[in-house]
Amino acid sequence: MSKRPEPILSVVVPLYNEAASLPEFYSALKNVLDGLGLAYEIIFVNDGSTDPSAEIVQAYKKDDGAVRLISFSRNFGKEMATTAGIHKAGGQATLILDADGQHPVDRIPEFVARWRGGAKVVIGRRVGGRQTAFTKRLGYKLFYGVFRRLTGLRLHPDLSDFRLIDRAVQVQFNQLTEHNRVTRGLIDWLGYERAYVPYTENLRRHGTATYSYSKLFKHALDWAISLSISPLYITAYIGAVVLPVATLLGLGMLTNFALGDPLNLHATGGAYLLVVALFLIGLLMVSQGIIGLYLSHIHTETQQRPLYVIDQTNPEG
């Protein structure tokens, strides 16, 4: 395989039970890539498919030196599949592409053109929304709205994982060793000069999207935990409101009682009990919040992200 010329473009394709989509996808992809007039490789990452996806790729490999196959021992999920593909990609640029036909291959020349134009990250931006259930779309919107605010990163539901990254970004990406990861979230975190390529999402040609509601929910949590520590602060914030309010209420009631009830509160035993309970709950929330603060630091440390990312493509000195 080393006799092949060094690829300029690596195309990473995660595969999970895509046997039905593969033939059409592969021939369309080949057509477009051949038209680019540059050396390329296609890295299929078989994510533990239980259908003949891997066998089909093996057959392509026989006649096509550009095809590579990485096969996982079981299903590890799309994020791990794209990560493995990026790790192995040898091109000057790496493009990540779904095999189900939802990412239109005829947009690839534009990705390459934007990259050649200097962008280090080129992101497919969905126009006309996602071809998915209304409830899922609503969920995406809500989620991204909240997390854009929490993380300060440029996250948006229309920015897909149909992406191209320059070698410089890939090198940095490969340094990120955390386990809990969302590929496009990490690319967002890395930064670099970005460009966008609009595309209309095709309908899935075969089979159904493998992301069920519960898988999506887990995915959302993974994403949130990987990119934001803010949720750990929530209890601290609520406690910071509850505790002083309960303290003031309690002091007010006691003073009122000591002075012979000038405010005419006629506070019952239940009312005192409630204030005491509120005070204790506030105390608990604050102490939970403090634990949260420490945890957030531990979390950040365990991710072992680089402290900063230097854009080597901008000469230093």
Cβ at position 102, least distance to Mg ion in Å = 4
159-188 mask for ligand UDP (x: CB under 6 A)?
Answer: ------------------------------
Residue 194 has which token pair?
């970005």
Out of 8, 9, 11, 15, the only residue in the binding site for ligand UDP (CB under 6 A) is 15
Give the whole-angstrom CA distance, residue 167 versus residue 273: 64
Cβ at position 169, least distance to ligand UDP in Å = 21
- DSSP-assigned states of every residue in 231-276: HHHHHHHHHHHHHHHHHHHHHHHHHHHHTT-TT-----HHHHHHHH
210 touches, from Mg ion, ligand UDP, none (C-beta below 5 to 8 Å by class):
ligand UDP
* Candidate ranges 57-65, 92-100, 273-281, 287-295; the one touching ligand UDP (CB under 6 A): 92-100
Give yes or no for residue 28 binding ligand UDP (CB under 6 A).
no
Specify the residue, 14 or 239, whose C-beta has the smaller distance to Mg ion.
14
211 touches, from Mg ion, ligand UDP, none (C-beta below 5 to 8 Å by class):
ligand UDP
Q: Say if residues 184 and 161 touch (Cβ distance below 8 Å).
A: yes
Give yes or no for residue 81 binding ligand UDP (CB under 6 A).
yes
69 touches, from Mg ion, ligand UDP, none (C-beta below 5 to 8 Å by class):
none
Amino acid at site 220: A
Continuous H helices in the chain: 22-36, 53-63, 78-88, 108-116, 134-151, 167-173, 183-190, 213-227, 231-258, 269-303
Give yes or no for residue 14 binding ligand UDP (CB under 6 A).
yes
77 touches, from ligand UDP, Mg ion, none (C-beta below 5 to 8 Å by class):
ligand UDP
Q: Say if residues 225 and 180 touch (Cβ distance below 8 Å).
A: yes
Give the whole-angstrom CA distance, residue 96 versus residue 51: 22
Give yes or no for residue 196 binding ligand UDP (CB under 6 A).
no
Give yes or no for residue 303 binding ligand UDP (CB under 6 A).
no
* 265: CB partners within 8 A, 6+ apart: 253, 256, 271
Give yes or no for residue 91 binding ligand UDP (CB under 6 A).
no
Q: Give the closest residue to 309 by CA, choosing from 121, 64, 105.
A: 121
Specify the residue, 28 or 267, whose C-beta has the smaller distance to ligand UDP.
28
Site for ligand UDP in 44-73 (CB under 6 A): 47
Out of 144, 189, 211, 237, the only residue in the binding site for ligand UDP (CB under 6 A) is 211
Give yes or no for residue 98 binding ligand UDP (CB under 6 A).
yes
47 touches, from Mg ion, ligand UDP, none (C-beta below 5 to 8 Å by class):
ligand UDP
Q: What do you get for the CA distance between the two ends of the chain, in Å?
A: 39
Specify the residue, 211 or 272, whose C-beta has the smaller distance to ligand UDP.
211
158 touches, from ligand UDP, Mg ion, none (C-beta below 5 to 8 Å by class):
none
Cβ at position 238, least distance to ligand UDP in Å = 34
C-alpha distances (whole Å) from 180 to each of 22, 47, 66, 80 are: 29, 17, 31, 10
Give the whole-angstrom CA distance, residue 22 versus residue 19: 5
Exposed, middle or buried: residue 20 (CB in 10 Å: 0-12, 13-18, 19+)? middle
